[in-house]
């Protein structure tokens, strides 16, 4: 560690070979770097790497020795190979479709000012927070009469539905900071829109597209409920298989082999996208959206069409929430003040919403602290190759929680966080921590392209002019990325609000979150429980839209303040 | 100044963490680890505290399988003192992995003897608490309107007359789905492969979860679908509205029994045994049906209104020895998947 810090110091932006040494003592820098590195490393180390390594270790080292024969036996099973292949293929295809459909939305939302933009912005994000159990059932209710029910296509549709938001948000944030004059110049010089897009825009957006693609891929490859419900339990992925092996068969060896497969997939993915992500071009500021022109019409049309596709299942949900035993009405919503039919719940849906908001706020705080620290660190390009490699590794490690099974992490918690002062197995504090684990990579992916684009020259200039490092950090890095930081905050809050997998593993009935009680209500027969579950989902979606709208509003004020 | 505030905040949060980890007062608090469906009315567990001075902290831990596996994995630092929700399909795994203290409530009588487990499958570790049958549920109105007699038995379900009418849950992702599979294995022995092939030929629909099968595919009054036969619980009809609109095919039932036991390594074995006794007492037993949609095992318990009329209990449900289930579960599920999900 000390060696690492020294390398960072020698290679910080104000490198002595270019800039005279300025304010701030060496000790303070070392401390700042140590803290900066410690925050994300300790967080991911304690709450992710250690638990996962322990549970995987139990599977691979059953008697304390590495069980090579066992591992090879699991890998040799045709079922294992088929599942790994299917998972990668499914996730890749879903990612591709999500990108193709999400890019026009990102473009329209970030570059154009048109009526309904705010609505579209919110609509895109709604699916992201809806519980899989409810969306799965809404989708199936729509597809039940069609030949698509229980097919691979139905799974793909739902995966795309859930993940459009990631592309729209991540790519959109970086699109906003692209100087449109380059494209305009090319247009003036006679290049067609397709050529301009392919040769200029796409190239400049490369890093954020790669970032979005890797996040979507990881979400898709670890989808659980979506694959089961829409595929009629006919398709097995690495994630569903780990669940089956761990919770039903207690076959830790096979589960560990599949967890390793997940890790290999993530690392391969990061290596592939890392090359693209590294090629960030310096950009300087955010550009306000402009009114649409005639040639934007196809773009708007596609964006609105995608928005409409997202809306169909949502409308079906709202319709279902208003349907009661005595015809249409607000009965299901009124029931949210109760604990459900025949004591279905320990708390009312409104209390659960309160719990959700509290946990999500705490998770967002943690995710922003860890994610922002990590993003600032990762945006630096140290001169020393060793330090660069260390940063790349940290970048990868932060992405791991997105691609590793919630079951693996949850069972890992059980066997590691079991001795004071870290006896947290039964503590509600694990809920926001688990939510933050999933949110941190999104925060980093949203902030990093923007922070990288700030460019070291501006930091160097500020430092040369005598600004102390904290001031450089505050005014240059954070100042320039304020918009992206707000977008990241909204995204983190949204993820935390909708998180189900880890939350259900950790939450307690008296502090249940809204997605957890929705799941419980969907699991009980008769009466109004199902209607109440759908109404609660609509409330969850509405709260998300409200939160996002609030963040957007703050954004506007923020721009005025600069 | 600022630094001291920060330190104070750190100290406070450390205390908070410590506070979460250990009970604050000197009275005993038992941790009751349960499956996710555990629920009792407000005040029921508080009665235990009034009687004994011992408080109960409920900690849900997944479905029955997940619960047992968690206990096995945390054997060296137990998750709690008492476990409730281990069912007859996972009982033998819990018993053979040494995660339970030998104890069965002394309040059991001969009337509850049928619910006791065999010696080798956890009989000396687990006290039966509730029971529920997984059976095919039928939408009476659908059959009345269609003018077809309702099916009665598992054999009827492969009759071409009932083609395309049944929805079941997948045995590899749903516990009622697994229970139904076990029922067919109990009924047909090795002939269950052929039975399932026949079910497939008769256009059975396989859904991933109970919610999915019941709310999307089933045609009952609170459901959206068009299939009048669904694998569900014997306790589902009493909570349907109007009550009596659905029913149970009593010859298709597989019996599930849920048990409680004292977790090995508890620091409060005496209190833990008291809690197991309390779960078997009529205070809890009378409260079980309306909260967990299953039947109490205690012969002294009284059923709530409507249950006596609409909730039926199979006289001869299918059962399999828990040890046999545990030994074959993985193979059966994989063979089932090969037939149903090729």
Q: Do A232 and B22 touch (CB under 8 A)?
A: no
CA–CA gap between residue A270 and residue A114 (Å, rounded): 36
Q: How many CB pairs under 8 A join A and B?
A: 153
CA–CA gap between residue B173 and residue B206 (Å, rounded): 11
Whole-number pLDDT of residue A477: 75
Q: Which residues, other chains included, contact A386 with Cβ-Cβ below 8 Å and sequence gap of 6+?
A: A4, A7
- From chain A, the residues in CB contact with B92 under 8 A are none
CA atoms within 13 A on the CB side of A452: 23
Query: CA torsion sign, A182 to A187 to A193 to A195?
Result: negative
CA–CA gap between residue B22 and residue A244 (Å, rounded): 33
Residue B85 forms contact with A (CB below 8 Å): no
Q: Do B236 and A240 touch (CB under 8 A)?
A: no
For chain B, residues with pLDDT lower than 50 are: 1-24
Rg (CA), chain B: 22
| Contact by Cβ (8 Å): A249, B329 | yes
Helices B322-340 and B192-201: angle between axes, nearest 10 degrees: 40
CA–CA gap between residue A285 and residue A283 (Å, rounded): 6
Query: CA torsion sign, A360 to A363 to A364 to A365?
Result: positive
Q: Is A12 left (phi over 0), alpha (psi -120 to 50) or beta?
A: beta
Q: How many residues does chain B have?
A: 342
Surface-to-core class of residue A21, CB atoms within 10 Å of its CB (0-12 exposed, 13-18 middle, 19+ buried): exposed
CA–CA gap between residue B285 and residue B303 (Å, rounded): 9
Instruction: Select from A133, A420, A504 the Cβ nearest to the Cβ of B211.
Output: A133
Alpha-carbon torsion, ordered A15, A17, A23, A29, to 10 deg: 30
| Residue that has been written with the tokens 């925060």 in this structure | A443
- From chain A, the residues in CB contact with B241 under 8 A are 325, 526-527
**Chain B nearest CA to A184, separation (Å):** 51
b (16+ CB within 10 A) / e for A93-131? bbbebbbebbbbbbbbbbbbeeeebeebbbbbbbbbbbb
**Chain A nearest CA to B286, separation (Å):** 14
Q: Which residues pair with B199 in a beta bridge?
A: none
**Chain A nearest CA to B320, separation (Å):** 18
Residue B60 forms contact with A (CB below 8 Å): yes
- From chain A, the residues in CB contact with B236 under 8 A are 525-526
Q: Do B215 and A522 touch (CB under 8 A)?
A: yes
Q: Do A427 and B20 touch (CB under 8 A)?
A: yes
CA–CA gap between residue B103 and residue A379 (Å, rounded): 60
Closest residue of chain A to B80, computed from CA coordinates? A426
Q: Do A344 and B236 touch (CB under 8 A)?
A: no
Question: Which of B59, B143, B305 minimizes the C-alpha distance to A430?
Answer: B59
b (16+ CB within 10 A) / e for A55-73? bbbbbbeeeeeebeebbee
pTM for this prediction: 0.85
Q: What share of chain A is helix, strand, coil (3-state, %, to 5)?
A: 75, 0, 20
Q: Do A244 and B172 touch (CB under 8 A)?
A: yes
Residue B14 forms contact with A (CB below 8 Å): yes
pLDDT one-digit tens code per residue, B90-116:
998 998 899 999 999 999 999 999 899
Residue B75 forms contact with A (CB below 8 Å): no
Instruction: Select from B173, B221, B293 the Cβ nearest to the Cβ of A233.
Output: B173
Q: Do B39 and A249 touch (CB under 8 A)?
A: no
Neighbouring CB atoms inside 10 A of A48's CB total 22
| Residue that has been written with the tokens 């497969």 in this structure | A261
Instruction: Select from A240, A419, A526 the Cβ nearest to the Cβ of B222.
Output: A526
- From chain A, the residues in CB contact with B212 under 8 A are 136-137, 140, 229
Q: From the candidates A251, A340, A516, A526, which should be mutated to test the interface with B, based on the most B CB atoms within 10 A?
A: A526
> Which residue pairs, CB below 8 angstroms and at least 24 apart, start in B42-51?
B44/B283, B44/B284, B44/B287, B47/B283, B48/B274, B48/B275, B48/B278, B51/B278
Alpha helices in chain B (DSSP H): 2-21, 44-52, 64-73, 91-96, 140-146, 175-188, 192-201, 210-211, 236-239, 269-280, 282-285, 288-292, 307-310, 322-340
One digit per residue, the tens of pLDDT, for chain A of length 562 reads: 333 333 333 333 333 334 333 344 567 777 877 888 889 999 999 999 999 999 999 999 988 888 899 899 999 998 899 999 999 999 999 999 999 999 999 988 888 887 777 777 777 888 877 877 778 878 888 888 888 888 999 999 999 999 998 898 888 877 877 777 888 888 888 888 788 888 888 888 888 898 899 989 999 999 888 888 888 878 889 999 999 999 888 999 999 999 999 999 988 988 888 777 665 554 555 677 778 777 778 888 888 888 888 888 889 889 989 988 888 989 899 988 888 776 678 788 999 999 999 999 999 999 999 999 999 888 887 778 888 888 888 888 888 988 898 889 988 988 898 877 777 877 788 889 989 998 998 898 888 877 877 767 777 788 888 878 777 777 777 777 787 788 788 888 988 888 877 777 777 777 888 888 888 888 887 668 888 888 998 998 888 888 877 776 665 444 333 2
Question: Which of B212, B223, B218, B231 minimizes the C-alpha distance to B318?
Answer: B231
Residue B18 forms contact with A (CB below 8 Å): yes
* Cα–Cα–Cα angle for B118, B266, B58, rounded to 5 degrees: 85
Neighbouring CB atoms inside 10 A of B197's CB total 13
**Chain B nearest CA to A482, separation (Å):** 25
Q: Which two tokens stand for residue B85?
A: 């929700």
Which 229-268 residues of chain B touch chain A by CB within 8 A?
Answer: 232-233, 235-236, 239-241
- From chain A, the residues in CB contact with B232 under 8 A are 525
Query: CA torsion sign, A480 to A481 to A483 to A489?
Result: negative
Q: What is the DSSP string of A327-382?
A: EESSHHHHGGGTT-TTS--SS-HHHHHHHHHHHHHHHHHHHHHHHHHHHHHHH---
CA–CA gap between residue B305 and residue B293 (Å, rounded): 13
- From chain B, the residues in CB contact with A522 under 8 A are 211, 215
**Chain A nearest CA to B31, separation (Å):** 10
Instruction: Select from A144, A325, A425 the Cβ nearest to the Cβ of B241.
Output: A325
Question: Which of A298, A341, A373, A313 minimizes the C-alpha distance to A141?
Answer: A313
| Contact by Cβ (8 Å): B212, A136 | yes
Q: Which residues, other chains included, contact A454 with Cβ-Cβ below 8 Å and sequence gap of 6+?
A: A282, A379, A476, A477, A480, A481
Q: What is the DSSP string of B16-41?
A: HHHHHHS-SSSS-EEEEEE-TT----
Q: Do A423 and B21 touch (CB under 8 A)?
A: yes
Q: Which residues, other chains included, contact A358 with Cβ-Cβ below 8 Å and sequence gap of 6+?
A: none
- The DSSP output letter for B318 is B
**Chain A nearest CA to B161, separation (Å):** 21
Q: Do A421 and B18 touch (CB under 8 A)?
A: yes
Closest residue of chain A to B207, computed from CA coordinates? A232
| Contact by Cβ (8 Å): A175, A107 | yes
Whole-number pLDDT of residue B115: 92
- From chain B, the residues in CB contact with A530 under 8 A are 211, 215, 222
- From chain B, the residues in CB contact with A524 under 8 A are 239, 293
**Chain B nearest CA to A234, separation (Å):** 5
Cα–Cα distances in angstroms (integers) from residue B98 to residues A221, A298, B63, B84, B124, in the given order: 36, 67, 20, 16, 12
Helix or strand run (H / E) with residue B312: none
């Amino acid at each position: 560690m000390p060696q690492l810090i020294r390398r960072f110091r020698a290679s910080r932006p104000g490198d002595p070979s270019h800039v005279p040494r300025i304010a701030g003592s060496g000790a303070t820098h070392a401390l700042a770097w140590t803290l900066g590195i410690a925050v994300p490393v300790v967080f991911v180390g304690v709450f992710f790497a250690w638990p996962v390594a322990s549970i995987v270790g139990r599977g691979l080292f059953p008697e304390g020795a590495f069980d090579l024969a066992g591992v090879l036996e699991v890998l040799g099973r045709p079922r294992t190979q088929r599942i790994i292949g299917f998972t990668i293929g499914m996730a890749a295809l879903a990612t591709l479709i999500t990108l193709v459909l999400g890019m026009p939305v990102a473009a329209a939302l970030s570059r154009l000012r048109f009526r309904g933009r705010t609505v579209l912005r919110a609509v895109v994000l709604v699916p992201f927070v809806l519980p899989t159990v409810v969306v799965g059932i809404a989708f199936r209710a729509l597809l039940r009469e069609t030949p698509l029910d229980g097919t691979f296509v139905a799974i793909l549709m739902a995966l795309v539905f859930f993940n459009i938001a990631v592309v729209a948000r991540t790519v959109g944030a970086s699109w906003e900071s692209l100087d449109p004059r380059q494209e305009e110049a090319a247009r003036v010089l006679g290049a067609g829109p397709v050529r301009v897009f392919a040769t200029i825009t796409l190239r400049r957006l490369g890093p954020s597209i790669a970032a979005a693609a890797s996040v979507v891929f990881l979400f898709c490859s670890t989808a659980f409920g979506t694959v089961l419900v829409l595929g009629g339990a006919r398709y097995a992925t690495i994630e569903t298989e780990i669940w089956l092996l761990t919770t039903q068969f207690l076959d830790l060896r096979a589960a560990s082999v599949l967890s390793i497969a997940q890790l290999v997939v993530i690392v391969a993915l990061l290596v592939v996208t890392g090359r693209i992500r590294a090629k960030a071009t310096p950009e300087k500021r955010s550009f306000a959206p402009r009114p649409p022109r005639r040639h934007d019409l196809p773009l708007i049309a596609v964006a609105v069409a995608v928005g409409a596709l997202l809306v169909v299942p949502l409308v079906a949900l709202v319709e279902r929430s208003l349907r009661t035993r005595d015809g249409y009405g607000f009965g299901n919503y009124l029931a949210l003040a109760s604990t459900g039919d025949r004591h279905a719940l320990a708390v009312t849906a409104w209390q659960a919403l309160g719990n959700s908001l509290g946990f999500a706020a705490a998770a967002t705080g943690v995710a922003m602290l860890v994610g922002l620290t990590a993003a600032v660190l990762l945006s630096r390009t140290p001169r020393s190759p060793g330090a660069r490699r260390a940063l790349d590794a940290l970048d990868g490690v932060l992405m791991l929680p997105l691609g590793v099974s919630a079951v693996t992490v949850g069972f890992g918690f059980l066997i590691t966080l079991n001795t004071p002062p870290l006896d947290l197995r039964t503590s509600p504090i694990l809920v926001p921590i688990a939510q933050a684990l999933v949110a941190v990579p999104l925060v980093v992916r949203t902030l990093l392209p923007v922070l990288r684009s700030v460019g070291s020259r501006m930091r160097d200039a500020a430092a040369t002019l005598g600004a102390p490092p904290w001031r450089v950090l505050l005014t240059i890095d954070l100042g320039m990325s304020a918009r992206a930081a707000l977008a990241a905050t909204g995204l983190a809050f949204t993820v935390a609000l909708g998180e189900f997998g880890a939350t259900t593993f950790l939450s307690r009935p008296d502090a249940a979150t809204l997605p957890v009680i929705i799941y419980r209500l969907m699991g009980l027969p008769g009466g109004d429980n199902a209607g109440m579950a759908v109404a609660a989902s609509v409330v969850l979606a509405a709260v998300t839209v409200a939160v996002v709208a609030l963040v957007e509003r703050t954004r506007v004020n923020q721009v005025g303040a600069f | 100044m600022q630094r001291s505030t920060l330190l104070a905040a750190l100290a406070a949060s450390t205390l908070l963490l410590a506070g979460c980890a250990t009970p604050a007062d000197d009275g005993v608090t038992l941790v009751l680890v349960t499956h996710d469906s555990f629920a009792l009315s407000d005040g029921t567990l508080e009665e235990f505290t009034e009687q004994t001075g011992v408080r109960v902290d409920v900690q849900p831990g997944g479905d029955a399988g997940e619960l047992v596996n968690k206990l096995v994995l945390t054997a060296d630092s137990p998750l709690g003192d008492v476990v409730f929700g281990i069912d007859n399909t996972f009982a033998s795994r819990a018993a053979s992995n040494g995660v339970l203290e030998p104890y069965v409530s002394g309040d059991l009588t001969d009337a509850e003897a049928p619910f006791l487990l065999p010696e080798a499958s956890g009989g000396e570790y687990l006290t039966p608490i509730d029971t529920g049958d997984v059976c095919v549920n039928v939408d009476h109105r659908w059959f009345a309107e269609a003018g077809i007699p309702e099916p009665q038995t598992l054999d009827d379900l492969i009759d071409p007359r009932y083609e395309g009418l049944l929805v079941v849950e997948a045995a590899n992702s749903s516990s009622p789905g697994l229970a139904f599979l076990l029922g067919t294995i109990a009924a047909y022995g090795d002939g269950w492969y052929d039975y399932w092939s026949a079910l497939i030929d008769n256009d059975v629909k396989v859904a991933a979860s109970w919610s999915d099968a019941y709310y999307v595919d089933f045609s009952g009054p609170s459901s959206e679908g068009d299939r009048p036969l669904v694998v569900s619980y014997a306790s589902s009809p009493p909570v349907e509205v109007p009550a009596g609109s659905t029913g149970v095919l009593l010859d298709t039932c597989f019996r599930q029994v849920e048990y409680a036991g004292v977790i090995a390594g508890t620091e409060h074995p005496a209190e833990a045994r008291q809690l197991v006794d309390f779960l078997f007492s009529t205070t809890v037993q009378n409260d079980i049906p309306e909260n967990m949609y299953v039947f109490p095992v205690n012969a002294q318990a009284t059923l709530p209104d409507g249950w006596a009329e609409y909730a039926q209990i199979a006289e001869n449900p299918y059962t399999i020895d828990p040890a046999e289930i545990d030994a074959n579960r993985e193979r059966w599920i994989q063979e089932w998947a090969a037939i149903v999900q090729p």
